[in-house]
A and B are shown apart, each in its own frame.
Chain A
Amino acid sequence: METINTFQIWYVFFLQLTPVWISLLITFSALFYWRKYLGVLGHLCNSRIGLVGLFIVLFWVFGAIFADMIALFEPFEQSGMYRRKPPGVINSKVGIPYIFGTDTLGRDLFSRMFYGSQTVLLIAPAACVVAYVVGITLGLPSGYFGGRSDTILSFLANLVLAFPVILLFYLLVAPGVRETILPNIMAGVFFLFPIIFALMVVYSRYSERINVLAPSVIFIFLIGAWLYSGLVFNADPLGLVTIDPNELNIFAAVVFASSPGVFRLVRGLTMDIKTRDYVAAAMTRGEGPFFIMIWEILPNARGPLIVDSCLRVGYVTILLGTLGFFGLGMEPESPDWGSMINQTRSYIRLVPTIVLPATLALASFVLGLNLLADGLREESAKD
């Protein structure tokens, strides 16, 4: 077996990642050039920690985007001859090295690392966004109105939060459950929230002006119905929006587990902000409660929410990894990092480096998100 040495491994690594380096360079230059106009992102330039975090996060984002150009092998391409090989072994048939080695089925770890980032980066942020919408839509009224509905919702949120996460996921994502329509029901309920939220936003602001209100509402209904039918029922008339039922299941389960945390955060912030004078001023000019919640309170809660969102994407990433680790996740072939770790962990004693690519990828991505959140928090506190 021909091998390449460590220096050459890293050389190939850097070379393959050229599209990523170029994109990073362009993005950071643009960021520094236009930082005055970019609000919070511009302020981030003053925080070294935040910039490091942003660098790492964007590294993986661009890695996912350019995965086809970066990868040296196909993600599902197996090889009988080159199974569990250490880093640096060259595939003599095609003359390309497995720079990070291969897993037990002979698949290139380096390429799977970057194809895996695609899966992670598609699901984690999207699940976070939906969790946020659910949390905000429930948390704002709960904090604002208080009373019995608040007590009930908080109790339910605490119930979900107190439930052991792994067990929860076994119940929601286990193969037996996947056959039922429970995932579709859950997804159906959760995907209603963005539509409700968008309607609330538009109605509260433009209730006086019918000529703006009517087209907006119709627009929201159309888009909402289209996306909804595509995602939940897999019955998109245009055939553009589809999602694997497996992925839908995981998506719904992740949203279910993340929403209570957001709910609590938003509820606490609402209870604090509603005591301010400008909220009283809004009340005295006759604003309805929904306007106050969405336009007076929510914009002022964005500091902690932005920071939390970064951290939450990290939690969800780890969660997906955990799911993959337990085999509850995607199909066995999937290159997502959790599954990769699961499939390679038995061979640590044979090839110690076999677990490293996916582990380091997962760790670095979550670290990047944490540093980014740190930087954002510091900067938003200064403003």
Chain B
Amino acid sequence: MSTPVLEIENLSVSFMTRAAEVPAVMDFSMEVNEGDAMGLVGESGCGKSTVALAIMNYLGGTGKIVGGSIRYRGRDMSTFSENELENIRGSEIAMIYQEPMASLNPAMRISSQLIEVPILHENISKGEAWNRSVEMLQKVNLPDQDRIMNAFPHQLSGGQQQRIVIAMALLSKPSLLLLDEPTTALDVTVEAGIINLIKNLSKEIGTSMLFVSHNLGLILETCNKITVMYSGETVETGEIKQVFRNMRHPYTQGLLRSIPLPGKNKYDAPLKAISGQLPLPHERPNGCNFGPRCPHFNQKSCASNDIEMALVNKKYLHSSRCSRIDQIKWDEKNISSKKSGKKSSKDTLLTINKLSKDYDVAANVVFGGKKKGTIKANVDLNFDAKVGETLAIVGESGCGKSTFAKVLLGLEEASNGKVLFEKKDIGKISVEDRDRKTVSEIQMIFQNPFDTLNPSHSVGGQIIRTLEKVGVGSTVEERKQRMYELLDLVKLPREFDKRMPRQLSGGQKQRIGIARAFAGSPKIVVADEPVSALDVSVQAAVIELLIDIQEKFDTTMLFISHDLSVVRYVADRVVVMYLGKIAEVGTTEEIFSPPYHPYTEALLSAVPIADPDIKKRQILLEGALPSPLNPPKGCVFNTRCPNAIKGKCDSLEPPTQKLENGHTITCHINTKELSKKGNVFAQ
């Protein structure tokens, strides 16, 4: 076998901080051969980005490789001089980071940034570098190359920027491409395009890849090998389908069980979160790092000595760091308690009738500007929500779902139409003018757990203030008791009430956000992407918590998300939005099976699924999201729709076709035609 492109052996990286030496990576081994695409999976804080940076020797002032070796094409990288390293970086090993806007110099035009790469590494002329750059832009599917070459980064969308970063990385035809969560900051449909691009290009140019991510579905789609990391160590590695189907480490098993899949919903099989928390670097237990959280933990075999990687299957290069591989029954089905069946339809609690919300955009609204524009954030929304059900609102960024949430809560006022809550129109009543009862009955859980709590006040204090404001309890003592009850409800210890938000993790903060939202026993809770900013295993726990509380209080939940797997798991009914308009409304079953609105179809196909046995029909959308200041004429989706009918879809508004059971699709194409297309997921 030829020398592997990258061979990491027993790597250990530590950070020398003022307090102590923090071991970030311990005993990490990995091999990437020619043409391989290796996925590196783990939660935040496990050390995967540190590994990627160590390969490039970008550890910063405090990071140091304290053990093991990294060999690039057989040569130990610590023997390279600074000059040689510079030559390798960018030309033979290239890296793509998470935030495309941060990777591009905002003060330089795209052309200067692109031609820099071949000029620096191959010393060719400027003209030739320009031609190569334009050619590469074509390869990454960017139209209008001349305009883009002369543009500045801020004039392009996120997807376009990331494509340019990829073009820059591939311009010098590197042997190894490192990608550190390259699509986390992008929308789902844009992500699908980028992933497709990376797959094809790396095959074409022959580049090996190291793909770092926390998204198992994404790794399954792009890579052929996988390494799972936990708390600085590799716990399992091997060929990807083999690992997914025949996992041999409890952590991998836990991860896969905590991810919602398209076939599961909350009534069939609840998600099983991994209990416990990631250990702090200086508090790692003796023996197996995962021991305290492992359901198969055994004092004798798991807690005494350090555990080495054991070969499971030589053919697929499958190894696992578990001392009880032969003792655990891996095929045992996930024992789940069946929840109560679907509820029968109840009374309607909330009716949205022709709701529209416009924003005026001008240079200076007070003194009047010359150029005025209107962003139509919500156009003519019509749907309703029943008592006790979970209604999901799905769409990508810019579709107007957060605007709708703000109108419902009174943070913004509707421009037109009605929001009927318990038969009263509250659309034009801002939150300051609402009476206390209405305010306490409609509450929100915010998206960013790091911003949802005021950093200057203690956690308990903030809950108590909410209780005071919604009128719960008449004395300070009563409210304190209720606050403790709420902490119990979200499964946090009572001692947390004195803590400040910065002392809590993201998942814990989100739980406090949930406690705060349910403090006044609300009738509607709007959850605005409550788990998008959290890790996979924490997501499962928070989702389960939300569902439990919602059922207990019989609250209507409006679940806003862009993640369709979570929506499938959680929701009873779904509303799909695009650029301020509703594309499709229906129950979860109806949305996930044909007939589909073309946009729903594309969204479903874009979601990465962590199940190797499910095959998806691939539908890629061309182009980028249109600007809401200048929406397309006719059907707003027509510029990207693969089934658009010229002459009809780009001039006439599409009709809302009603199917049975309240299912509606807003499209020019007849639903009979759409039903013929077949399911996106085939099994």
Could you list which residues of chain A lie within 8 angstroms of chain B, going by C-beta atoms? 147-148, 151, 208, 276-278, 280-289, 295-296, 299-300, 302, 383
Chain A residues near B411 (CB-CB < 8 A): 280, 283-284
Q: Given that A147-B366, A277-B447, A281-B516 are contacting pairs, would A286 and B434 also be in contact in the complex, using a CB cutoff of 8 Å?
A: yes
Within the complex, which residue of B448, B457, B470 is in contact with A285, where a contact is CB–CB below 8 Å?
B470
Is B454 in contact with A300, judged by CB distance below 8 angstroms? yes
Q: Are B457 and A299 in contact (CB under 8 A)?
A: yes
| CB-nearest residue of chain B to A212 | B476
B453 touches A287 (CB 8 A): no
List of A residues within 8 angstroms of B513 by Cβ: 281
Q: A277-B446, A280-B446, A281-B444 are in contact. Are A286 and B454 (CB under 8 A)?
A: no
Chain A residues with CB under 8 A of B466 = 285
For chain B, residues 350 to 382, give those with C-beta under 8 angstroms from any C-beta of chain A: 366
- Within 508-527 of B, Cβ neighbours of A (below 8 Å) are at 513, 516
A295 vs B456: C-alpha distance when bound (angstroms): 9
Contact A278 B453 (CB under 8 A): yes
Please judge, given known A-B contacts A151-B366, A280-B411, A283-B411, whether A208 and B444 are in contact too, CB under 8 Å.
no
Q: Is the CB of B409 within 8 A of A286?
A: no
**B432 close to A278 (CB less than 8 A):** no
Which among B434, B436, B440, B466 has the greatest number of chain A C-beta atoms within 10 A?
A: B466
Residues of B within 8 A of A296 (CB): 454
Q: How far is the CA of A255 from the CA of B468 in the complex (A)?
A: 38
Chain B neighbourhood of A287, CB < 8 A: 469
A287–B456 alpha-carbon span in the complex (Å) = 17
Q: How far is the CB of B64 from chain A (nearest CB, A)?
A: 22
Interface residue B492 (Cβ < 8 Å from any Cβ of A): no
Q: Which listed residue, B444, B451, B465, touches A284 by the CB 8 Å rule?
A: B444
Would you call B160 an interface residue if the criterion is a C-beta within 8 Å of the partner chain's C-beta atoms?
no
A286-B446 contact, Cβ under 8 Å, with A299-B454, A300-B454: no
Among A151, A281, A284, point to the contact of B439 (Cβ < 8 A): A284
Tell whether, in the assembled complex, residue B451 and residue A276 are in contact, meaning their CB atoms are under 8 Å apart: yes
User: Is the pair B454, A278 in contact by a Cβ cutoff of 8 Å?
Assistant: yes
Q: Which 3 A-B pairs have the closest CB atoms?
A: A299-B456, A277-B451, A286-B439
Q: Looking across the interface, which residue of chain A has its beta carbon closest to that of B436?
A: A286
A15 to chain B, nearest CB (A): 39
* Cα–Cα distance between A296 and B442 once the two chains are bound (Å): 21
Complex Cα–Cα for A282 and B469 (A): 10
CA distance A288 to B516 in the complex (A): 18
Q: 17 A-B Cβ contacts within 8 A?
A: A148-B366, A151-B366, A276-B451, A277-B452, A281-B452, A282-B454, A283-B410, A283-B431, A283-B432, A284-B443, A285-B439, A285-B440, A285-B469, A286-B431, A286-B434, A286-B469, A299-B454
Known: A278-B451, A289-B432. A284 touches B456 (CB 8 A): no
Q: Kindly state whether residue B455 has any CB partner on chain A within 8 Å.
A: yes
A300 to B443, CA, bound (A): 24
Q: Which residue of B lies closest to A301 (CB)?
A: B456
* Residue numbers in A under 8 Å from B448 (CB-CB): 277
Task: Please list the residues of chain B having a beta carbon within 8 angstroms of any beta carbon in chain A.
Answer: 366, 409-411, 431-432, 434, 436, 439-440, 442-444, 446-448, 451-457, 465-466, 468-470, 502, 513, 516
How many whole Å from A111's CB to the nearest CB in chain B?
45
A313 to B292, CA, bound (A): 55
- Which residue on A lies nearest to B456, using beta carbons? A299
How many inter-chain contacts with C-beta < 8 Å in the A-B complex? Answer: 65
Q: Which residues of B contact A277 (CB under 8 A)?
A: 446-448, 451-452
Tell me, rounded to whole Å, the shortest Cβ–Cβ distance linking B43 to chain A: 24
Residues of chain A within 8 A (CB-CB) of B469 are 208, 285-287
Q: Which residues does chain A contribute within 8 Å of B457, judged by CB atoms? A: 295, 299
Q: How far is the CA of A298 from the CA of B454 in the complex (A)?
A: 11
Interface centre among A283, A296, A302 (most CB of B within 10 A): A283
* Docked pose: A287 CA to B434 CA in angstroms: 11
Q: How far is the CA of A286 from the CA of B447 in the complex (A)?
A: 20
Closest Cβ–Cβ distance, residue A298 to chain B (whole Å): 9
Q: Which residues of A contact B456 (CB under 8 A)?
A: 299-300, 302
Residues in chain A near residue B455, CB distance under 8 A: 300
Contacts of B516 in A (CB 8 A): 281, 285
- Chain A residues with CB under 8 A of B440: 285-286
CA separation between A383 and B455, bound complex, in Å?
11
CB distance from A42 to the nearest CB of B (A): 15
B470 — which chain A residues lie within 8 A by C-beta?
Answer: 285-286
Bound-complex Cα distance A149 to B586 (A): 48
Expressed in whole angstroms, the Cα–Cα distance for A76 and B366 within the complex equals 59
The smallest beta-carbon distance between B404 and chain A, in angstroms, is: 14
CA distance A281 to B456 in the complex (A): 15
Q: Tell whether, in the assembled complex, residue B432 and residue A208 are in contact, meaning their CB atoms are under 8 Å apart.
A: no
Asked if B410 and A284 make an inter-chain contact with CB atoms under 8 angstroms apart, the answer reads yes
Nearest neighbor of B430 in chain A, beta-carbon distance: A283
Most buried by B among A278, A295, A296, A299: A278
Assembly CA distance A284 to B527 (angstroms) = 13
Chain B nearest CB, measured from A288 CB (Å) = 7
CA distance in complex: A147, B448 (Å): 28
In the bound complex, do residue A288 and residue B452 qualify as a contact, i.e. CB atoms below 8 Å apart? Answer: no
Give the Cβ gap from B166 to chain A, nearest Cβ, in Å. Answer: 32
Say yes or no: A281 contacts B436, CB within 8 Å.
no
* Distance between A204 CB and nearest chain B CB, rounded to angstroms: 12
Q: Which residues of A contact B434 (CB under 8 A)?
A: 286
From B453, which residue of chain A is reached at the shortest CB distance? Answer: A278
Output the least CB separation between B401 and chain A (Å): 15
Q: Whole-angstrom distance between the alpha carbons of A276 and B451 in the complex? A: 6
A299 to B455, CA, bound (A): 9
Cβ of B447: which chain A residues have Cβ within 8 Å of it?
277
* Cα-based distance from A285 to B409 in the complex (angstroms): 10
* Contacting residues, chain B, for A300 (C-beta < 8 A): 454-456
Chain B residue nearest to A276 (CB atoms) is B451
Closest-CB distance, A306 to chain B (whole angstroms): 13
Q: For the complex, what is the distance from the CA of A166 to the CA of B682, rounded to whole Å?
A: 81
Q: In the complex, how many angstroms separate the beta carbon of B393 from the nearest chain A beta carbon? A: 17
Chain B contacts of A208 at CB under 8 A?
468-469
In addition to A284-B410, A285-B470, A295-B457, 15 A-B residue pairs with Cβ atoms within 8 Å of each other are A148-B366, A151-B366, A208-B469, A280-B411, A281-B444, A281-B513, A283-B432, A284-B442, A285-B440, A286-B432, A286-B434, A286-B436, A286-B440, A286-B469, A300-B455
CB distance from A160 to the nearest CB of B (A): 21
Q: Which residues of A contact B443 (CB under 8 A)?
A: 284-285
Most-contacted residue by chain B among A148, A277, A289, A295 (CB, 10 A): A277
CB distance from B396 to the nearest CB of A (A): 20
CA separation between A283 and B411, bound complex, in Å? 7
Min CB gap B61→A, angstroms: 15
List residues of chain B with CB within 8 A of the CB of A285.
439-440, 443, 465-466, 469-470, 516
* Min C-beta distance of B657 to chain A, whole Å: 36
Query: How far apart are B20's CB and chain A's nearest CB, in angstroms?
Result: 16
**Bound-complex Cα distance A349 to B101 (A):** 62
Q: Closest residue of chain B to A151, judged by CB?
A: B366
- Smallest beta-carbon distance B499→chain A, Å: 15
Chain A: which residue is nearest B516 at the CB level? Answer: A281
Smallest beta-carbon distance A142→chain B, Å? 13
In Å, the complex CA distance between A280 and B448 comes to 12
Residue of B nearest to A46 (CB): B18
Residues from chain A with a CB closer than 8 A to the CB of B442 are 284
Given contacts A286-B439, A287-B469, A296-B454, contact A281 B446 (CB under 8 A): yes
Bound-state Cα–Cα, A280 to B446, Å: 9
- What residues on B are CB-neighbors of A284 within 8 Å? 409-411, 431, 439, 442-444
Would you give the shortest CB distance from A229 to chain B, in whole angstroms? Answer: 35
